[in-house]
Amino acid sequence: MDMFEAILLSIVTASTPLLLAASGELVTERAGVLNLGVEGMMILGAACGFGGAWLTGSTTVGALCGIAAGMTLAALFAAMTIGLAVNQVAAGLALTILGTGLAGLIGLGFVGERIAAAPQLAIPGLTTLPVVGRLLFGQDAFVYLSLGLIAAIAFVLVRTRAGLILRAAGDNPASAHALGYDVARIRTLAVLFGGGCAGLAGACLPLAYTPFFAPGMTAGRGWIALALVVFASWRPARLLAGAYLFGAVSILQLHAQAFGVGLPSQLMSALPYLATVIVLVLISRGRRGGSVGPAALGTAFVPDR
């Protein structure tokens, strides 16, 4: 039972950065913007988040630094793709390269340093319950924030007028503009929100997952977050399930190596990414001609004057 509980706790911890980053990208894409720079925003958020926490001794300050870093890169992306109508795919890839380089520069002085991990919730009588105690009542703030965030996104997108306007900007920006809505402003706010979530997801890695910073510690999680949005068919509930599914795959392959499963370690490490490819192929085959994503996804909108 102790081993089972440890595996479940590891899955939750590993899934949280994926859920945070994918949640922000979901909102961004529902507004019609494809941001491939999630990986770059995550690694920059990790560097700035660790630096802020190491300098101040505060996990909260570190998380805010990660959010600020992600939003800064997102603002640059928005200026290029929304303000100047630059190709979104090219701009996103450039953003990943830029974020990776800046993270290496900023984090150079922090390599080898360690900080205290984010504190975990402790409720007397509940946290000590077998199996479910620590799983439900003993997590850090990042876990509860990610769950609250995806619930709020689901509510806003489906139940509110703001969500309807956001989806209109992603499905038919010309009609939204004709009705008097500022599509550029809507998309910019969505991109900034996505950047903040990606930066927070990156900061979660050194602040809660591992108590140190290492170059490249995101290890492709930003790309998995992008795939998760497609895997979820742009639906928040499916996104939650997908994030925990891929988190489970990444953790179980580590435990399989520890148990001496007779497979090459390189193959086991590649399992999360192999699962991503397989799921995307299955979803593509099951759509029967047509994407369920926003109709104007990845298309720049320049209103007629």
- Render pLDDT for 200-211 as a digit per residue (tens, 0 to 9): 999 999 999 988
The reported pLDDT for the residue numbered 253 is 74
The closest alpha carbon to 45, from 267, 236, 213, belongs to 213
Cβ within 8 Å of residue 153, ≥6 positions away: 23, 26, 27, 236
Question: Tokens 């949280």 — which residue?
Answer: 16
Question: Tokens 């450039």 — which residue?
Answer: 94
Here the tokens at position 7 are 């595996």
Q: Does residue 288 have a pLDDT over 70?
A: no
Q: What is the mean pLDDT of residues 64-68?
A: 97
Length of the chain, please?
A: 305
- Render pLDDT for 240-251 as a digit per residue (tens, 0 to 9): 998 998 888 888
Q: How far apart, in whole angstroms, are the C-alpha atoms of residue 83 and residue 183? A: 11
**Cα angle for residues 46, 48, 51 (degrees, 5° grid):** 105
Residue type, 45: G
**Does residue 140 sit in helix, strand or coil?**
strand
The reported pLDDT for the residue numbered 291 is 56
* Contact criterion met (CB below 8 Å) for 272 and 278: no
The reported pLDDT for the residue numbered 261 is 66
The reported pLDDT for the residue numbered 258 is 65
Helical pair 141-159 and 183-204, crossing angle rounded to 10 deg: 160
The closest alpha carbon to 176, from 185, 24, 80, 29, belongs to 185
pTM over 0.75: yes
**Does residue 212 sit in helix, strand or coil?**
strand
Confidence of residue 6 (pLDDT cuts 50, 70, 90): confident
The reported pLDDT for the residue numbered 58 is 94
The reported pLDDT for the residue numbered 49 is 96
Q: Does residue 222 have a pLDDT over 90?
A: yes
Confidence of residue 178 (pLDDT cuts 50, 70, 90): very high
Q: Does residue 286 have a pLDDT over 90?
A: no
The dihedral built from the CA positions of residue 242, 244, 250 and 254, taken in this order, carries a sign that is negative
The reported pLDDT for the residue numbered 223 is 92
The closest alpha carbon to 26, from 132, 166, 173, belongs to 166
- Render pLDDT for 45-55 as a digit per residue (tens, 0 to 9): 999 999 999 99
Q: Does residue 268 have a pLDDT over 90?
A: no
* Contact criterion met (CB below 8 Å) for 32 and 177: no
Higher-pLDDT residue of 162 and 268 is: 162
**Does residue 120 sit in helix, strand or coil?**
strand
Q: What is the mean pLDDT of residues 5-14?
A: 89
Give me the long-range contacts of 283-289 (CB less than 8 A, separation at least 24): 283/230, 283/231, 283/233
* Contact criterion met (CB below 8 Å) for 206 and 215: no
Q: What is the mean pLDDT of residues 9-13?
A: 91
The closest alpha carbon to 213, from 41, 84, 53, belongs to 53
Q: Does residue 177 have a pLDDT over 90?
A: yes
End-to-end CA distance of the chain: 66
Q: DSSP letter at 108?
A: G
The reported pLDDT for the residue numbered 111 is 87
The reported pLDDT for the residue numbered 193 is 98
The reported pLDDT for the residue numbered 262 is 65
Question: Tokens 């992603």 — which residue?
Answer: 170
